[in-house]
Structure 1
Amino acid sequence: MRVFVIGGTTADPTEPMFKTQKALLEQACYQLGCSLGTAGHSVIVCSPFENSADIEVMRGFAETLPPRPAIEIHYPDSQRVNSQFNEVLSRFQISTVSRYPYPPPQVETREAFQYAWLLCQLNAIERSHLTIAIGGKPDGAANMLLLIAEGKQKPLLPISFLGGAASQSFYRRRYELTDRLGEDIDALQDSQSINKIVYLAERLVDRRSTSTVKIKGNRPNFFISYPRARPAEADYVETILRRRNMVVFRDETDFGAGYDIPRKIQEAVFSADVFVALWCREYACSPWCFDEMELALEKHAQSQLELWIFCVDDTRIIPRRARDLVFYQIKSRDELEGRIVTLLERMENTNSKK
């Protein structure tokens, strides 16, 4: 998933507590960057300047082992900002980057740049699957951004131990968060529990992205979509599912480009409850796989199919309708099995309540 971190101190630089707050903010954002990169999630940042939360998130993200997921940068397209981002990305050796430049201010004043950054942050919230907030002045832009995110019902995790706008958001939403996360929300109030935040983020997004699909039988039907040149991952997914007595369909025929999807494939997708896409370079180059995914996206848009996208290499998601869906970056077979088990448990719990 794509995660946007909004952070800032609540104290002014002239106040005695500023240095302590700044150190806590930087350490927390550094740990978040490490955790997000390790878990295979993309990071969205807006500022390349020192003393920002964004820098510490990037610093932590850069120290995770490759292959790393992509990092998105949303920024005013001025020469100064571009140069600074290029320097930071080079220093941290971050090469997989998606750039989203926005119009720079007509005049380079502090006030004009504040509005330019605000535009970038608003778009970053829209692009993200979840926003993590920490600190931020109650009377500043952070408070307005969080209120907008709440109004749009965007997934949001407010970390409250630094106070400020994030703390206010936490107390506005504490009953909703308790309902979704239980007693685990205590981690949002504890500076020593930053390593648990990504786990909570995954739970929040997984639960929110639960489809309204009604299982057709006693067990869900699965369709595995994969490139025929890479059957190993499909073999493993099929084994995991069949061990749990799931109904699995996968087609092992290589028809090549230029052929329409046979009727049996269409019927298998239409009868499936879950479409599992094993996204990779070979998948992106296969018209056959694209046709299967287009069918799945149509059914998913009608809330008739759950769509699980596992990215087994660092190839970017190409189909437009799939880009904003939650996907899972997978680095190992253990990660793949763990994610499938979690999703199965979430599906079972959701359907048991219907």
Structure 2
Amino acid sequence: MVPQWRLDVHSKASRLVKSPLHIPRPPRPPVSSTPPSPTTITYRDAGVDIDAGNEVVERIKPLVKRSFRPEVMGGLGGFGALFDLSGKYKEPVLVSGTDGVGTKLKLAQQLNRHDTIGIDLVGMCVNDVLVQGAEPLFFLDYFATGKLDVDTTVAVVGGIAKGCEMSGCALIGGETAEMPDMYPPGEYDLAGFCVAAVEKSKLLDGAKVRQGDVLLGIASSGPHSNGYSLVRRIYDRAGRPADLDLGGVKLIDALMAPTALYVKPILELLGKHDLHAMAHITGGGLTENIIRVIPDGLGLQIEASSIVLPPVFDWLQREGAVPNDDMWRTFNCGVGFVLVVAPGDVAAVSADLDRLGLSHRQIGEVVKAGDGERVHIG
């Protein structure tokens, strides 16, 4: 982490308003030539504890260093982070992405579970840039809170470092901002920023997609980090049954399961197979994400019967009486990542997915677009 500290303190100046009524006043005492000294106010008094921030940096250093790659130049503590691309790519195209984790943060804070929310943050960014065939190179985070709690901050950033390590992506820098009065006690916000690279000749932009291509859906680990405003509403209305058993997994564990990180297995797959396109299923669900990588003139036929809702989604739909259309458009419904594959390559790609431990199934195909909606689920 690069320890950069920012503080915006806005003080309201008092103004004396003169009364319209004349009220006789007693004589004023003589004015001293030496005004009284103001009470000393330190940065700590204003709500910012630099010592706590420095402790966070020292505690996360070993966690961050585990995520470093050979291309990282220099150590921690500089004003800018350095990464050397010169020895790896001939015609590199940089792919960048940024994201947060939505209101899953509220659930993490409510449950005092801070060690995996950073994995979610990394997942939402690296899985996005992966879609274009790019390898995530480095990551930066932004952590903001009203009052810095060292243990909480270290747990959150530790999760970010772990997610980066699992994705082969260096946690190269970040910002920890303590901003009094901006956030209620115990609350914080997170954002992540990722830069990836791909050879220009290998960039996936949807141009290879053809009618008849097959959609292979790869399993998610749960809701990931999407739809949690609805998740929390259903969970609260149900009385917060945290320990409800969902086939051997507690409901709360299923809801808090970190986002699956697809980077390493998918990059290996890309080295062996000519994939036509890929999609990360995030906000907008199955309805709105896959179509983003499908060229104009083509559409999608998704077979609803091929998608069996995992227990956590089944519970959410039943408990919330959520209509099917809303489920498809809000959640990944158990499909976290989608590959668009030529029909003749499906068997070989499927065999490698099995070898890589990625549960998957055929969920539909690319079709010629008709009038009206380009995505049909049924």
TM-score normalised by structure 2 residue count: 0.23
* Greater RCO (CA < 8 Å, at least 6 residues apart): 2
In our comparison, the structure showing a higher alpha carbon Rg is 2
TM-score normalised by structure 1 residue count: 0.24
